């Protein structure tokens, strides 16, 4: 049976070859087709690279063909509505419906298992409020900031031009411009496509210093000052790490450095470019705070902050100690969860490196509160946020606003084919192929981005109103419930420990926070022993 397909095509080739001698007009084509399959089968039989092909010539090709469309078969035919891998059909459908501005009401009750461990909900109030008609905003800018920014509570998370297509970037920025929310550039810097519609930008600066980079790869302050002066740039975000691949640098092969990408990043066309795992502009927590102060001055007083996926808890605390020592504080910090990220990375990093958003957010919030620094520093949260409930839940745990990357990709047309790294994105969202990205019709997709943002923020306002609150900034851990077992329910302030203001400044206890605080030092990212 292993060789049945090969035997069949060999017999067919011989038969059609014989018939072709007498009736070439009728059997010549069949002979050619069967001969091609016979050659392939014989090659399979005698090649030495693939065991399956040697044992199952021809037949093994069908196995790989089916395997190549396994994600599509699973997603369209087998996957349940609530199976999140990484986003469920229910989550994606909600985004698509809101982006298209159609009815997203769900009939016949929830499909969630409300008795499953990990199920979460917000407690509603008998004295519910009427949702505000005006979308709430948050002011970002500490005491050293002279140009504070009134940010939306939902913004586009970091995705670079190069990772996303030109049309996708234009659609995102067009939606941001119409909806009055911010568009994070990603570490690929500001491209001409980010400027097409004039939407507010958060300029992300990674370890490659793209857009403000010297020839040797170091930070170029003059270039930074020039670009940061652009009125479209509202905030500067220093990227330390990202959820998809925390602690990992990157290499952009020279064949991917097109003239457009080279122009945006300030690198030579066709030359391989390396983003180191760590920054070269600073090497200690104190130096990092001084660098942030320099960026803020160079940006004319615009808000400057940083983004990271929490790793060693004491390293984040070393940044807080550096803030206390220097008197320099960032205007904002964005916590990226390990479950977040659009970038492709080794599976070990995707699955098993980095702190999930909830734990990272609570750690950052507690550190800033415990150090007496929380008042002037805003916290953003990023990681699988596509709904009003997810926004509200993260704000109950300490976030001031939320960012979404893949949610806005869905709004632009992403179908979760998980082919972002292949340059063969079926919808033209994550590719540089001109023929593929033409599928993204910018005016139409910009409208969808706008509607997804507007309706998701409105849904969040409705959720907050049911809790009996006027503003999402009033959400607290006790408003969020989680089922921790089939018989036990806890509020978030029971699941997590929350510190009081200044609790770490004279810490003497032996809890996780106190021990990590004692290990942290402002002059080094190494632990104090």
Q: With respect to residue 457, please indicate whether it lies within any of the assigned structural domains.
A: yes
| Per-residue pLDDT at 9 | 86
Measured distance CA(72)–CA(418) in Å, rounded: 10
Q: Would you say residue 432 has pLDDT above 80?
A: yes
Between helices 357-370 and 512-519, what is the axis angle to 10°?
70
95 in any annotated domain: no
pLDDT classification of 190: cutoffs 50, 70, 90: very high
Closest CA to 410 of 105, 117, 172: 172
Q: What domain count does the chain have?
A: 2
Quick check: is 89 in a domain? no
Longest Cα–Cα distance of the chain, Å, equals: 100
Interior/surface letters 496-507, b for 16+ CB within 10 angstroms, e for the rest: bebbeeebbeeb
Which tops the pLDDT comparison, 113 or 329? 329
Output the CA–CA distances (angstroms, integers) from residue 402 to 176, 385, 391, in the order listed.
Answer: 15, 8, 6
Q: Which residue is listed with tokens 């891998």?
A: 85
Look at 379-383, 485-489, 499-503, 507-511 and tell me which has the smallest mean pLDDT: 507-511
Q: Are residues 320 and 420 in the same domain?
A: yes
Residue 181 scores a pLDDT above 70: yes
Q: Residue 301 burial (CB < 10 Å; 0-12/13-18/19+)?
A: middle
110 in any annotated domain: no
**In this predicted model, what pLDDT tens digit does every residue of 127-147 receive, in sequence order?**
999 998 899 999 999 999 999
Cis-peptide, bond into residue 86, ω within 30° of zero: yes
Residues 282, 355 within the same domain: yes
Decide if pLDDT at 302 tops 80.
Answer: yes
Q: Are residues 41 and 143 in the same domain?
A: no
Cα separation, 346 vs 244, in Å, equals: 9
Is residue 77 predicted with pLDDT exceeding 80? no
Task: Clarify whether residues 156 and 67 are in a common domain.
Answer: no
Which tokens sit at 122? 């917000």
Mean pLDDT, the chain, rounded, equals 90
Contact between 131 and 464 under an 8 Å Cβ cutoff? The reply is yes
88 occurs within a structural domain: no
Structure tokens at 426: 């079926």
**Residue 264's domain is classified under what CATH number?**
3.20.20.70
Cβ contact 212:219 at 8 Å: yes
**Is the domain of 63 the same as that of 195?**
no
Does 126 map to a domain? Answer: no
Of 79, 95, 128, the residue that ends a domain is 79
| 347 and 493 both lie in a single domain | yes
CA dihedral 463→464→466→470, nearest 10 degrees, is -150
SS (H, E, C) 63-86: HHHHHHCHHHHHHHHHCCCCCCCC
DSSP bridge partners of 247: none
- Which one, of 388, 279, 398, 407, lies nearest residue 341 by Cα? 407
CB–CB of 186/175 below 8 Å? Answer: no
Is the same domain home to 201 and 278? yes
Do 69 and 213 fall within a single domain? no
Q: Domain of residue 236: give its range.
A: 137-517
pLDDT band at residue 284 under the 50/70/90 scheme: very high
pLDDT of 25 over the 70 cut = no
Residues 75 and 141 in one domain: no
Kindly state whether residues 25 and 161 are assigned to the same domain. no
Asked which of 64, 79, 94 is the last residue of a domain, the reply is 79
- Binned at pLDDT 50, 70 and 90, residue 291 comes out as very high
Mean predicted confidence (pLDDT) in 362-388: 96
Query: Both 158 and 65 in a single domain?
Result: no
Average pLDDT over residues 241-267: 81
Instruction: Give domain status of residue 451, yes or no.
Output: yes
pLDDT tens digit sequence for 342-361: 666 667 777 788 899 999 99
Is residue 296 pLDDT above 90, yes or no? yes
Q: Is 457 in contact with 152 (CB distance < 8 Å)?
A: yes
* Top-confidence range, 41-50, 84-93, 246-255, 471-480: 471-480
pLDDT of residue 26: 66
333 pLDDT higher than 90: yes
* Average pLDDT of span 155-170: 93
Which of these three, 54, 79, 104, is where a domain ends?
79
For the residues of 433-473, what is the DSSP string, one character each? Answer: -HHHHTTS-HHHHHHHHHHHHHHHHHHHHHHHHHTT-SSGG
Which residue's structure tokens are 């499909």?
111
pLDDT exceeds 70 at position 84:
no
Rounded Cα–Cα distance for residues 318 and 321 (Å):
5
Distance in angstroms (rounded) separating the CA atoms of residues 162 and 171: 15
326 and 399 within one domain: yes
Let me know: does 161 contact 186? Beta carbons within 8 Å: yes
Residues β-bridged to residue 401:
380
The rounded distance, in Å, linking the Cα atoms of 282 and 328 is: 15
What percent of the chain is predicted at pLDDT more than 90? Answer: 64
117 belongs to a structural domain: no
Question: Is residue 185 within 8 Å of residue 156, measured between CB atoms?
Answer: no
Binning pLDDT at 50, 70 and 90, where does residue 211 land?
very high
d(CA 44, CA 52): 9
């Amino acid at each position: 049976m292993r060789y049945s397909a090969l035997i069949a095509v060999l017999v067919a080739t011989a038969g059609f070859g014989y018939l072709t001698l007498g009736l070439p007009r009728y059997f010549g084509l069949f002979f050619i087709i069967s001969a091609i399959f016979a050659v392939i089968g014989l090659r399979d039989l005698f090649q030495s690279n693939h065991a399956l092909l040697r044992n199952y010539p021809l037949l093994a090709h069908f196995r790989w063909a089916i395997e190549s469309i396994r994600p599509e078969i699973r997603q369209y035919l087998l996957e349940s509505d609530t199976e999140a891998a990484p986003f469920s059909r229910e989550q994606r459908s909600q985004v698509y419906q809101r982006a298209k501005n159609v009815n997203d009401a769900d009939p016949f009750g929830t499909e969630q298992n409300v008795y499953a461990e990990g199920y979460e909900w917000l407690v509603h109030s008998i004295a519910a409020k009427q949702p505000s008609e005006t979308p709430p905003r948050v002011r970002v800018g500490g005491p050293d900031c002279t140009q504070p920014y009134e940010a939306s509570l939902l913004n586009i998370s970091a995705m670079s031009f190069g990772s996303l297509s030109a049309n996708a970037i234009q659609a995102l920025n067009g939606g941001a411009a119409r909806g009055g929310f911010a568009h994070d550039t990603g570490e690929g810097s500001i491209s001409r496509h980010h400027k097409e519609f004039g939407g507010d930008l958060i300029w992300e600066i990674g370890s490659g210093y793209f857009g403000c980079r010297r020839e040797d790869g170091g930070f170029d302050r003059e270039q930074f000052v020039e670009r940061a002066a652009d009125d479209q740039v509202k905030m500067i975000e220093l990227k330390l790490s990202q959820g998809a691949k925390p602690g990992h640098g990157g290499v952009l092969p020279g064949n991917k450095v097109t003239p457009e990408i080279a122009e945006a990043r300030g690198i030579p066309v066709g030359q391989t470019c390396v983003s180191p795992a760590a920054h070269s502009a600073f090497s200690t927590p104190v130096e990092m705070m001084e660098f942030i102060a320099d960026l803020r001055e160079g940006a004319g007083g615009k808000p400057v902050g940083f983004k990271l996926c929490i790793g060693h808890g004491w390293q984040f605390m070393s940044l807080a100690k550096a803030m206390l020592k220097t008197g320099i504080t960032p205007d904002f910090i964005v916590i990226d969860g390990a479950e977040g990220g659009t970038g492709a990375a080794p599976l070990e990093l995707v699955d098993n490196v980095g702190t999930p958003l909830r734990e990272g957010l609570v750690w950052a919030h507690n550190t800033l509160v415990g150090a007496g620094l929380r008042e002037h520093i805003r916290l953003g949260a990023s990681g699988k946020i596509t709904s009003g409930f997810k926004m509200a839940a993260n704000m109950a745990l300490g976030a001031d606003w939320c960012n979404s990357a893949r949610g806005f990709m869905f709004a632009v047309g992403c179908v979760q084919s998980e082919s972002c790294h292949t340059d063969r994105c079926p919808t033209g969202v994550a590719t540089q192929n001109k023929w593929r990205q033409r599928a993204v019709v910018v005016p139409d997709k910009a409208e969808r981005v706008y509607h997804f943002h507007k309706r998701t923020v409105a849904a969040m306002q409705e959720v907050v109103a049911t809790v009996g609150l006027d503003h999402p900034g009033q959400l607290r851990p006790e408003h969020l419930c989680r089922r921790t077992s089939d018989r036990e329910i806890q509020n978030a302030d029971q699941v997590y420990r929350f510190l009081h203001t200044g609790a770490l400044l004279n810490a003497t206890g032996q809890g996780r926070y106190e021990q990590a605080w004692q290990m942290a030092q402002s002059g080094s990212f190494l632990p104090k022993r």
